[in-house]
Amino acid sequence: MSELLTVSNLTKRFGGLTAVNDVSFSLAPGEIVGLLGPNGSGKTTVLNMVSGYLAPSGGTIALRRQVVSGLAPNRIALKGVARTFQLVRGLPSLTVAENVIAALAFGKRPLWGSAAATEALACLAQVGLAHKAQQSAKDLTYIDQKRMELARALAAEPELLLLDEWLAGLNPTELLTGIDLIRSLRSRGITILLVEHVMDAIRALCDRCIVMNAGRKIADAPTAEALCDPEVVRAYLGDGHA
């Protein structure tokens, strides 16, 4: 099987703290995989290393067998990785459309001018934000900022999309819309690794879950199985419930 993403013995140390400890996993093309774990277990740090934001202290990350660990984020982005951030990062001095054009203009297939404007509108339409394209990004509500961030990630036409708690903070209706949206991405062949705490979303979306605790991988199995794993239950709820 040709793997899209292969993470081998990934380790990240911040001084004396080992945030990610010898983690290995792989993603097949088209999979939606959840990356779970209690707070502080190293999930976001793993995403940060995959996107190039942080350099690993040890281990390797490969995209289609090509080692990318240690490359700058802009080089990794051009290889087909896009992401959203746990704390939404809009570009406040730009309009909503320009936020998306930022990803279009410097991507694998750079677009500019009217072609970029049209494509940006199409990306915004996917997340239901086309009507606010000309607004200033700083005037958006939290939910709309999240939508805009996803549109920006999609504009890069990623093969691998990293979502860091993208569904957190949505109300039940928005959550259903969000789940449908992510599911629709799979039909376009995008592989998704999502860090998430919303269990409904994980059950609805993820074929498989990787669970981390204190920097280590403690489970990697189909979702239902992983969530029942005694060690996973212990990590979340303590010994008495295992």
**Interface positions with another protein (CB under 8 A):** 51-53, 72-74, 77-78, 82-83, 85, 89, 91-94, 98, 101-103, 105-108, 110, 112, 152, 156
Query: What minimum distance in Å lies between the beta carbon of 165 and another protein?
Result: 16
CB of 113 to another protein, least distance (A): 10
Question: In the complex with another protein, which residue's Cβ is closer, 92 or 222?
Answer: 92
Nearest approach, Cβ of 53 to another protein (angstroms)? 7
Query: Cα separation of 163 and 146, whole Å?
Result: 11
Minimum Å distance from CB 22 to another protein?
26
Strands 58-63 and 5-14: antiparallel
Q: Which residue stretches of 172-238 are H helix?
A: 172-187, 199-205, 223-228, 230-237
CB closer to another protein, 115 vs 228: 115
Rounded CA separation 236/75 (Å): 36
Burial label for 204, CB within 10 Å (0-12, 13-18, 19+), is: middle
**Shortest spacing between CB 234 and another protein, in angstroms:** 35
Cβ proximity to another protein, 142 vs 242, nearer residue: 142
Compare residues 67 and 78 and give the one whose CB is closer to another protein.
78
Q: Rounded to whole angstroms, how far apart are CA atoms 24 and 26?
A: 7
DSSP state of 95: B
Smallest separation (angstroms) from another protein to the CB of 28: 24
CA angle, 11 then 15 then 17, to 5°: 60
For another protein, which is the closer residue by CB, 102 or 233?
102
CB-nearer residue toward another protein: 164 or 220: 164
Q: Where are the alpha helices (DSSP H) in 8-136?
A: 43-51, 73-78, 96-105, 114-126
